[in-house]
Amino acid sequence: MSLGGARPLNPFRWLGGPLLACVIATMLFSAPIRVWGLHLPEPVFAVVPAFAWALIRPSILAPFAILLLGLFLDLFWGGPTGLWGLSLLVAYATVLAARNMMTGQSRAMMWVWFAGVTAVAMAAGFLFSMLDSLATPSLIGVFWQFLATALLFPFAHRLVDRSDDADVRFR
C-alpha cells in the first residue's frame, strides 16, 4: 500500500462508532422478546471492540473506552460495578500481548483467537462474579453466553478490516 492512499484514523470512526453500536445492540437484545418460547441470546457485544481495538491500534484511549463500555454493562444489567469493565480489560490485554502472533493469520485462525479471547473474558467474568457473590454462577449460562459472543467474530473482523489502511502495521 502506498502512504498517499491511507486514510487517517479518526477517533470517532474507530472508537465512538463501535462503542455506540455495542450500547444499542445490548439494549436491543435485552428486549423481552421470545421466539418459540426462548429468549434472545445475551452476547457480550463489547468483546468485539475489545478484540479489534487492540489489533487496530493500541492507544491510551481504547482501554478507557472499554472501561466505560464495561461500566455501562454493569449498570445496565445490574451487576457489580467493575465486573465487565475489568473482564473486558483482561481480554484487551490478552489481545495486546498476543497481537504479533495474530497479525497475518487467516480468517479461520482469527476466529479461533477471538473465541479464545472471549473465553478469557468469560472466565474472568465468571471468577470475578464468583468472588463477589461467593456463589458459583451457572456454567451452562456462561457457556451459552460464550457461544453467542464467539459467533460475533464477523463483526470484529469487519471492524479490523475497515481500519487496515490506517494502521501502520499494514503500510
Angle ∠(44,32,146) on CA atoms, nearest 5 = 25
Residue 144 domain flag: yes
2, part of any domain: no
Helix (H, G, I), strand (E, B) or coil at 17: helix
Percent of the chain with pLDDT over 90: 50
Note whether residue 1 is domain-resident: no
Q: What is the pLDDT, as a whole number, of residue 102? A: 87
* Residue 41 in this model has a pLDDT that exceeds 80: no
134 is a domain residue: yes
Count of structural domains within the chain: 1
Confidence (pLDDT) at 171: 43
Alpha-carbon distance of 80 to 88, in angstroms, equals: 14
Is the residue at 159 inside a domain?
A: yes
- Global pTM value: 0.86
Which range of residues forms the domain containing residue 144?
Answer: 7-170
